[in-house]
Structure 1
Amino acid sequence: MPSSILYQNAQRTVFLVDIPSSIANAQHLPTSPCPGTQRRLISSPPLEQPFPSPPEPKRDKARENVLKMIPESQRQLHESIRLIIERGLQEIRDSLSVGSRWCLPRECTSTIHDDVGKGAEENEAPRSNKTRNQGKVQTTIFCLSPRPPVILSPTDTNRFSSLADLHGTEVRNPSPNSVSIRVAADSQTFTIPPASSFVLGTLSTPTASANTPPIPGLPPDRKYSLIILDPPWPNRSARRAAQYKTHAEKGNSLNGLVALLRDIIHTHLDTTSLANPPRVAIWTTNSAKSCQAAHKVFQDTGIVPVEEWIWLKTTVSGEPVTPLDGLWRKPYEILIIGQAAATATSGMVGAESSSTRVNRRLLVAVPDVHSRKPNLGELVKAVGFFSSGDPGTGQKYAALEVFARNLTAGWTACGDDVLRFNSDRWWIL
């Protein structure tokens, strides 16, 4: 199948990625042959022009006053990122032919926002991911004895009356092929990738009075060498749009969310593997508070930040979706990647390495449907993070994605919206 990486430099520090194909490719194992008919993910039209920018201060004095409200450390971080972005964009432009579009052709429909996936939203429990109920990380007491896993049949359609039948338990597809789940309540079908598993449900905020697992339904002894977290950080623009709630609404602090992420890492990160140094990746927003919270999680779990992947959002012609020097909106998000302290200086590939310097890579991608991010499966392989693994599946590591919105072949995913983009309503032949 065609790679979702449209460009990468020799140093593997600059990538141009196609988001829809990254998710489509993630539905197959590395060892699987390319299917005769490749399903295509329904997407939003790619941006032709940047977003309208909020009004910026017109006078130097007014701009200076706004800059004074931004911490010096955050301004320095942005300046260093701006230089990386400018160099990376120029490198991609020099490598592409004139007039090339910065994404692959997309499948778009006029009903994408009205019908596609609506049934899933109406029948699922409140979600702790990035939509209208984002951040609903609840304090819930669960039975200490987890329910047995649901093993999906590889030969028949797996039928359930509603998605509630699957809440709070691990659902596995051990087959090397995709399988189907049919939900009668809304006549919806979900395609489950090979060798994948998921836990559908609301994550539990840890409490002193309840000894509950951080991911109810996932056995605490299940370990992973890669954990990817996309937490529901507070977001002012999202609250204004009323599209989803965030964890810090109604006076809640970030403490509960930080504690949850910390407990997930403590419980599920495999720190025993010598061949594959364990890694944790946390998506952050442009809010200083989210970056500080992510670093707090790393500090509390003995994880040392070793890389930052900057996802720059551009138009089809490679122009940032908002001005790089805009004060109100930045056109990028940052994925902070850390390793267990004992292995933090090993296994570094690409940019200059040192025990005190964080390596940075630039991921350029034209944005897609709201809150879709590039699937990291191909990128993790491209940078050579893991060197050994299962020869049967081609997976060189065990991965857990938390607050996921789609499944990945060979990975485990969890969250209240974990099946969203695996609904067949999002796919066409």
Structure 2
Amino acid sequence: MASSVLFKSSDGAVVGIDIPRSLEEAQVLPGQTITRHIISTHPREAPWQTPEPKKNTTRDVSASAAIAELMTLESVKSALGMARTSHNGPWCLPRVSREKTDVPPSTVQARPGTDGNDNAARPHKRKHKPSSSLLPLTEDKETVFAGAFVPEQSHYLLGTIQSQHEAFLQDAPQFDLVVLDPPWPSRSVKRKSDSYTTVHSTEEARELLSQIPLASHLKRDGLVAIWVTNKASITDLLLAPGGILGQWGLEPVGEWIWLKITSTGEPVLDIESAWRKPWERLLIARKVGSRIMPPMSTKVILGVPDMHSRKPNLRGLFDETLPKGYAGLEIFARNLTAGWWSWGNEVLLFQQKHHWVPLEDEQDS
């Protein structure tokens, strides 16, 4: 079975990854063989054509944000050059698509409010464990619960940040890595009728993130990785004096970039576009005073996008940075990872059985 890592530069700064395979690998513990394929979209073959804005947008961007964008652009150009000269294989693995399977789409799919909303959906309860609405679930082998696959040694809190706050404080251990994919405000997401719920403003995002008791559950030399959009206001919310990282007692230590490419290895958008960028960034931070290594080198991850809101699973990519068997947590998760904790009001979204087919039934497109 091919690995999710399709290629990697000698220094590890450029990595090609197959996103569906990374999610499949995350369903089992490291070293185990995957047992099923996730149903995906067809890989895009050609870049999107995006109209450019009529007015000059650079004047609305601060000098620091403009410099950061230029640095990201240079990292992307360098990574593309390396990949094109040294990689001769495919840019993604064969995928299982919906029309190639007999698995029907979900007829009912809850769309609760944001993770900061107390009116969002409450956690599922196991019939034989009435109190489990406030407890993570732990299994020594994979199980199926409420129509969802629960990977081995995975733990989850299904509910909002507010509703599961006390359960997290009481039961969660300390973690080596915390990954967050916050529901940042996004006009493009709001235009999609089937999109996930986002917050409405950066202030609402600040309020939501401020409620997460992250500092008390991060090991002294642990790392925090936060997916961010390309809006300068989002980065400022995290990094500016008095920002979220400061509230959590963290300092930035590096940045990874997910460059979205087509099945032919081209960026899905013009990298010079002023309107939209073909990448998302992952800001990495550590505790102030941590003994962990000095600032990390920028890493560019090349990957063909899958369904909207699916990102590469990062468990394997942090193996070279963190201790063997490190403890991981994903907040605002939409799927589970074997051996990890996951927390969010859509934490079982992509664990539902209708998103998967057994390995023996695969029908790759």
Q: TM-score range by the shorter chain?
A: 0.7 to 0.9
Counterpart of 1:156 in structure 2 is: none
Report matched runs for 1:126-141 at 5 Å: 126-127=111-112, 133=113, 135-139=114-118
> Residue 367 of structure 1 aligns to a residue in which SS?
coil
Question: Structure 2, unaligned stretches of length 5 or more?
Answer: 359-365
> Residue 96 of structure 2 aligns to a residue in which SS?
coil
Q: Is residue 258–residue 294 contact of structure 1 (8 Å, CA) maintained in 2?
A: no
Tell me the TM-score normalised to structure 1 length.
0.75
CA 1:418/1:258 → structure 2, altered by over 3 Å: closer, same or farther? closer
Matched, 1:74 2:65: yes
> Residue 254 of structure 1 aligns to a residue in which SS?
helix
CA 1:178/1:288 → structure 2, altered by over 3 Å: closer, same or farther? same
Instruction: Indicate which of 283, 288, 313 corresponds to 2:227.
Output: 283
Instruction: Indicate which of 135, 143, 168 corresponds to 1:179.
Output: 143
RMSD value, Cα: 2.8
Radius of gyration: which is bigger?
1
Q: Deviations over 1:295-328 (max 9, x none)?
A: 2221122212111010110101111111111111
Aligned partner letter, 1:280: V
Counterpart of 1:47 in structure 2 is: 44
Counterpart of 1:303 in structure 2 is: 250
Q: Distance in 2 between matches of 1:21 and 1:12?
A: 19
Tell me which of the two structures has the higher relative contact order, counting C-alpha pairs closer than 8 angstroms and 6 or more residues apart. Answer: 2
Instruction: Indicate which of 155, 172, 176 corresponds to 1:197.
Output: 155
Counterpart of 2:321 in structure 1 is: 385
Q: Deviations over 1:6-26 (max 9, x none)?
A: 011111111001000000001
Q: Distance in 1 between matches of 2:106 and 2:19?
A: 18
CA 1:409/1:215 → structure 2, altered by over 3 Å: closer, same or farther? farther
Counterpart of 1:109 in structure 2 is: 98
Counterpart of 1:420 in structure 2 is: 349
Counterpart of 1:236 in structure 2 is: 187
Residue 178 of structure 1 deviates from its aligned partner by: 1.5
Q: Deviations over 1:375-425 (max 9, x none)?
A: 0011111xx21234xxxxxx2x11111010111110000111111111111
Counterpart of 2:10 in structure 1 is: 10
Aligned partner letter, 1:190: A
Q: Distance in 2 between matches of 1:289 and 1:139?
A: 26
Bigger mean CA offset, 65-74 vs 164-173: 164-173
Aligned partner letter, 1:172: T
Q: Distance in 2 between matches of 1:194 and 1:418?
A: 16
Question: Structure 1, unaligned stretches of length 5 or more?
Answer: 128-132, 141-146, 151-158, 184-188, 205-211, 272-276, 389-394
Residue 330 of structure 1 deviates from its aligned partner by: 0.8
Tell me the TM-score normalised to structure 2 length.
0.87
Provide the aligned length of Structure 1 versus Structure 2: 349
Percent identity for Structure 1 against Structure 2: 31
Counterpart of 1:130 in structure 2 is: none
Residue 111 of structure 1 deviates from its aligned partner by: 8.8
Residue 216 of structure 1 deviates from its aligned partner by: 3.8
Q: Is residue 134–residue 164 contact of structure 2 (8 Å, CA) maintained in 1?
A: no
